[in-house]
Structure 1
């Protein structure tokens, strides 16, 4: 900073103001200092700045699977909102692995991040609580934190599962399979709960087809199993707990000559961009991904600045109807 000050013929304090509070400096002086910074290749020592300020400009974000467009869209929205507050998001994907999640939490703790946003794997609540006890604000993402000391932003997944099965019943389907796991993820467990509730109210058959992970490959494996069943024994509808599974099921059924929706109707969850562009456009339960990411950042800043009781935001999912659930044609009387 001394070299920049000398090159721009200003004081070190003026350089500091240009970097941290440029509105206090005349525009011509800001331009002259910035030219000196560019010419000298000056890069701010953020570690030193962090020691002085007592907090980092970095925010940690840990998601379950960055390969899932649902989480990448949340991360993108969080980055945009954080940038508006002069914060930078450091992103990690736990892949639902508690050990990897632990490593990210330790690293973010060492970096003294401004705060943590996390979609927890379900096994790390104690570690998350430890960060909060050291003054790091925490926001749970895509998980309802009601009853915990953490603020949270989530979607009512019980309502989402209910909505999916009610829609399938309204199209005339009566043998419905719910595909996806593991049930240890609270989001998946809640979607199954909602599906069971709607099935019971409509008096339809409901079967749970578990998977090790909610991925396209797992969906293809389920689709292969469905195609091998005699038509009379197959479900006439499938509700997948996310769109990646539904796309995999659709791929397998199409390759095996099982018509969607004529033989099996199909509903996904998340309404990622691929749902609309699938070979049979996919009906899906939409979650407001951008709003989730933006809200998480705002809750984090509120927790850092005001403290107090945790805040909880819960969005209501919506149904997006497409060709994969066209109603069964009525037979002439």
Structure 2
């Protein structure tokens, strides 16, 4: 099989080999018309770059790593889609690692990504100890925290204000008449779960109610099955006025169990989720939720990462914090 060279692509496109190299490595620096002409020549000739050779010369590849806590959660699926979309536009591919909430698995994934010489890393860490990420930076791998605020000036982060989200969710339930609220959550070692509870307590305090009005059901996983189990426990103990779930998967499991038990939602108990995944609006009783800009999170985090990768001398680290949006539906009306 004959290998097509960069010189042949350049001749077909009517440009210099250097321009072809720029299209392959720095497409944003090439005029759109010229880039399209080169890409058409690449397609026509079936040119395939020698990835391993270019990686050895540059010390890294045109790949980015993405490490998430739970790819089974549509929240992270949407974040990944945003990251992949931006990366593709800039000529990069994304390698996905799913930690499943396990630090040990996360560290194994990070080792593999480093061995693959990824150019940069997007990560939603499994816990608050981020010193392990310093080893990657020492190897020249840029990184951006996703859905996790950075607490140091030499890192970029893109996150959503979870304290504000928890406060808005419970304030909405209290405005509907609730005075006792159950918070169904995943492990409180997860920052998002912990900060959403903090916001819930702030809403109770603002309403003149004590922290004893918030019951906490801490589950080992943030899945619909865990939601069903928590609902069974709540039914046995006595239902509160409202239930606030740390994500929509938990809330959908709660909803299923309540409806099967003949409980009216919201007639007997109001129900609130978090994330506003696609299934929230399509459930048997449409689910009120706190919407997060998931796709945008992935895109902006990738844009920051690529700027750090490609412009290390001028890159300015940013800590971007989005505000969640309350979406009220049938489950709290």
Gaps in structure 2 of 5+ consecutive residues: 25-29
Matches of 1:163 and 1:6, distance apart in 2: 56
State the SS of the aligned residue for 1:269.
Answer: coil
- Alignment of 1:312 with 2:319, yes or no, is yes
Going from structure 1 to structure 2, the CA distance change for 1:237 and 1:50 (only over 3 Å counts) comes to same
Task: Say if 2:224 and 2:251, in contact at 8 Å, map to a contact too.
Answer: yes
1:1-333 matches, cutoff 5 A: 3-4=3-4, 18=20, 20-21=22-23, 34-35=43-44, 37-38=45-46, 43-122=48-127, 125-147=130-152, 149-204=154-209, 205-229=213-237, 233-304=238-309, 305-306=311-312, 310-326=317-333
Q: Cα distance, 1:8 vs. partner?
A: 6.0
State the SS of the aligned residue for 1:4.
Answer: coil
Going from structure 1 to structure 2, the CA distance change for 1:225 and 1:43 (only over 3 Å counts) comes to same
Q: Cα distance, 1:16 vs. partner?
A: 7.5
Task: Say if 1:5 and 1:33, in contact at 8 Å, map to a contact too.
Answer: no
Matches of 1:89 and 1:277, distance apart in 2: 30
| TM-score computed with the length of structure 1 as normaliser | 0.87
Q: Give the aligned length.
A: 319
Matches of 2:17 and 2:160, distance apart in 1: 46
State the structure with more CA Rg: 1
Matches of 1:90 and 1:150, distance apart in 2: 21
Task: Say if 1:141 and 1:292, in contact at 8 Å, map to a contact too.
Answer: yes
Q: Cα distance, 1:192 vs. partner?
A: 0.5
Task: Say if 2:9 and 2:38, in contact at 8 Å, map to a contact too.
Answer: no
Matches of 1:202 and 1:234, distance apart in 2: 21
Gaps in structure 1 of 5+ consecutive residues: 327-333
| TM-score computed with the length of structure 2 as normaliser | 0.87
Going from structure 1 to structure 2, the CA distance change for 1:271 and 1:52 (only over 3 Å counts) comes to same
State the SS of the aligned residue for 2:80.
Answer: helix
